[in-house]
């Protein structure tokens, strides 16, 4: 038998908030995520993970969430970053909610409409639809209006059709030698992953209460004999939001930080001391100095 063709390329997962992008990515990269680099990344454009399946090496890159209120400086900046990120990717995987297509989904489509990369649409959360036939008119409508190479109904949560997505992505990548050793999974900064785990718990704990205005900065990341010591600053936009994050008697922050600490221990496979502070910088999202400090603006 001849050797399988070597493929390699970059993939971005895009879509409006809450459609299941992170869940899908976690399912794709799954347990294979491992840390191989301690060098902090300097931009938000991160390599989230690399998997090699059937001799196709898939490099997943992060694009920060698309901002639908581009009035603020930070939101415009982030939208530009998405467009820049999409410029070099080989495959875009757009995630949408199988239950409803919104105007924001059209906005996401409009961003990469003119791009030459291959495009796959994942209609996620199809586990929430009992009669799958009900999805057909929506699929037909989207197919008629946009040029997707593939449209896949899936459930990231239940891992349904996730392998199909991996297979379809892999076969669309260009013929190229692999960029990473096949068993090396992610050249990722522990610091960044840790800040993401904290951010994840904040989003989980705060729900709709703090959209887009919370940010995590890792101030200290120190290995001691006994543990990894991490100090994290949580930045909010307004004084009033501090109380929301901290909660009555600090209970909300305590439980979010404790959940984050467990996730971090799981990730680093070490004992972790996590200390968190909530800080306010008025209108930091409109302040380019603060943006520079967050390495958004490389």
Interacting residues toward ligand GDP by CB under 6 A: 15, 17-23, 124-125, 127-128, 155-157
In the list Mg ion, ligand GDP, none, the entry touching 276 (Cβ below 5 to 8 angstroms by class) is none
Classify strands 91-97 and 7-14 as parallel, antiparallel or unpaired.
parallel
# residues contacting Mg ion (CB under 5 A): 2
17 vs 250, which CB is nearer to ligand GDP?
17
19 vs 245, which CB is nearer to ligand GDP?
19
CB of 154 to ligand GDP, least distance (A): 7
CB of 219 to ligand GDP, least distance (A): 26
Q: How many CB atoms lie within 10 A of CB 264?
A: 22
22 vs 63, which CB is nearer to Mg ion?
22
CB of 46 to ligand GDP, least distance (A): 14
52 vs 105, which CB is nearer to ligand GDP?
105
Asked if 57 touches Mg ion (CB under 5 A), the answer is no
Asked if 124 touches Mg ion (CB under 5 A), the answer is no
Nearest to 85 by CA among 185, 11, 27: 11
- Written as one string, the DSSP assignment of 111-139 is HHTT--SEEEEEEE-GGG-SSGGGGHHHH
Which residue in the set 8, 12, 14, 22 belongs to the binding site for Mg ion (CB under 5 A)? Answer: 22
Bridge partners, residue 231, by sequence:
220, 275
Cα–Cα separations (whole angstroms), residue 112 to 11, 15, 87, 151: 13, 11, 9, 16
Q: How many CB atoms lie within 10 A of CB 3?
A: 6
C-alpha to C-alpha distance for 149 and 247, rounded to whole angstroms:
47
C-alpha to C-alpha distance for 57 and 35, rounded to whole angstroms:
17
In the list ligand GDP, Mg ion, none, the entry touching 155 (Cβ below 5 to 8 angstroms by class) is ligand GDP
196 vs 290, which CB is nearer to ligand GDP?
196
Q: Which stretch binds Mg ion (CB under 5 A): 14-22, 96-104, 120-128, 208-216?
A: 14-22
Nearest to 198 by CA among 184, 218, 169: 218
- For the chain, how far is it from start to end, CA to CA, in angstroms? 47
127 vs 150, which CB is nearer to ligand GDP?
127
CB of 20 to ligand GDP, least distance (A): 3
CB of 68 to ligand GDP, least distance (A): 13
Q: Read off the DSSP letter of residue 282.
A: T
CB of 22 to Mg ion, least distance (A): 3
227 vs 262, which CB is nearer to ligand GDP?
262
CB of 292 to Mg ion, least distance (A): 24
Cα–Cα separations (whole angstroms), residue 148 to 12, 23, 126, 180: 15, 22, 19, 29
Residues of this chain that interact with Mg ion (CB under 5 A) are: 21-22
């Amino acid at each position: 038998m001849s050797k399988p063709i070597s493929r390699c390329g970059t993939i971005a997962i895009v879509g409006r908030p809450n459609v299941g992008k992170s869940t899908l990515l976690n399912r794709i990269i799954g347990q294979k995520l491992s840390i191989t680099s301690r060098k902090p990344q300097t931009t938000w454009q991160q390599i989230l993970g690399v998997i090699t399946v059937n001799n196709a090496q898939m490099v997943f890159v992060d694009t920060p969430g698309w901002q639908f209120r581009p009035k603020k400086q930070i939101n415009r900046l982030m939208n530009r970053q998405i467009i820049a990120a999409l410029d070099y990717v080989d495959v875009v995987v757009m995630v949408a909610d199988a239950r409803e297509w919104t105007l924001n989904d059209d906005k996401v489509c409009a961003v990469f409409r003119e791009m030459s990369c291959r495009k796959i649409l994942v209609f996620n959360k199809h586990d929430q639809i009992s009669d799958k036939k009900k999805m057909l008119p929506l699929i037909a409508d989207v197919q008629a209006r946009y040029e997707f190479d593939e449209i896949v109904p899936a459930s990231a949560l239940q891992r349904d059709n996730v392998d199909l997505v991996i297979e379809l992505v892999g076969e669309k990548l260009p013929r190229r030698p692999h960029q990473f050793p096949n068993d090396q999974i992610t050249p990722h900064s522990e610091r960044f992953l840790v800040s993401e785990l904290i951010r994840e718990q904040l989003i989980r704990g705060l729900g709709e209460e703090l959209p887009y205005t919370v940010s995590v900065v890792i101030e200290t990341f120190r290995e001691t004999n006994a543990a990894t010591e991490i100090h994290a600053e949580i930045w909010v936009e307004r004084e009033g939001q501090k109380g929301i994050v901290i909660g009555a008697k600090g209970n909300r922050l305590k439980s979010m930080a404790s959940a984050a600490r467990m996730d971090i221990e799981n990730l680093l496979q070490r004992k972790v001391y996590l200390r968190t502070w909530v800080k306010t910088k008025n209108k930091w999202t409109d302040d380019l100095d603060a943006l520079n400090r967050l390495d958004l603006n490389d």
